Amino acid sequence: MHEDVEKVLIDEAVIEKRLDVMAERILEEFQGREFVVVVILK
| Number of structural domains the chain divides into | 1
Residuewise pLDDT in 10s, the chain (42 residues): 678 889 989 999 999 999 999 999 999 999 999 989 899 998
Which structural domain range is residue 20 located in?
A: 1-42
Is the pTM here over 0.75, yes or no? no
Q: Given this model, what pLDDT does residue 1 score? A: 61
6 contact partners, CB below 8 Å, separation of at least 6: none
b vs e for 9-29, b when ≥16 Cβ sit within 10 Å of the residue's Cβ?
Answer: eeeeeeeeeeeeeeeeeeeee
